Structure 1
Amino acid sequence: MDKITQEYIDKILDDSDVEYFEAFGKTVVAVYRLRKNGHVLVGVGACVSPANFDLEIGKKVAREDVSNQLWAREGYLLQEKLKGE
């Protein structure tokens, strides 16, 4: 593999175990355990006011947070791999 794609990131997340937790009536915490190696990533989606809280939007935002973290990690791993070639 010489590049990372959104499809690749999505597959890793889709193949992961995930648990969502609601906190303080306005925050969603998503905990992803990657099946590939057991590594855990935590994402957060929050709003300012509990009156505006929407669980599904919070889950989406938390997943995006985890996705961004995964992009950085996978990019680092790819850079190391390509450097060694």
Structure 2
Amino acid sequence: MTEAETEAAIVAAGKTAPRLTPDDIDNAIVSEDYYVFPGTTLTVCALTLRNGFTVTGESAAASPSNFDWQIGQQVARRNAREKIWALEGYLLKQRLFDQAA
């Protein structure tokens, strides 16, 4: 199930409690940078979040002949973005905990 499909299912189910959405994750990102290590297929994506924290994601082709800069960039970004869910989830849970205290 894609993020969009999951979001649609949550909305259709009428769930209204505080939660993260794909837009929340995208809005946490303020900049992105990429680097391919010379002589390798290793692509690193660094996503900078609104508070200045940096999250990284990586991708690498097993065969240099399969390396494609754009595909490597997309995979590395997706891997970095995936890490933001856990960080933002923790932050939301802490906010809810603090409100209840």
Give the TM bin, normalised by the shorter chain.
Answer: 0.7 to 0.9
Residues in 2 aligned to 1:46 and 1:9: alpha-carbon distance in whole angstroms: 24
The answer as to 2:22 corresponding to 1:10 is no
Matched-pair identity in %: 34
Contact kept in structure 2, 1:25 and 1:53, CA below 8 Å: no
Which structure is richer in relative contact order (CA contacts within 8 A, separation 6 or more)? 1
Residues in 1 aligned to 2:98 and 2:52: alpha-carbon distance in whole angstroms: 25
CA RMSD of aligned residues (A): 1.5
Which runs of structure 1 show a deviation greater than 2 angstroms over 4 or more consecutive aligned residues? none
* Residues 58-85 of structure 1: CA deviation (Å, up to 9, x unaligned): 1111111111110000000111111222
Residues in 2 aligned to 1:57 and 1:45: alpha-carbon distance in whole angstroms: 9
Q: TM-score, normalised to structure 1's length?
A: 0.85
- Which of structures 1 and 2 has the bigger CA Rg? 2
Contact kept in structure 2, 1:27 and 1:53, CA below 8 Å: no
**Structure 2 gaps, min length 5:** 1-16
> Corresponding residue for 2:75?
61
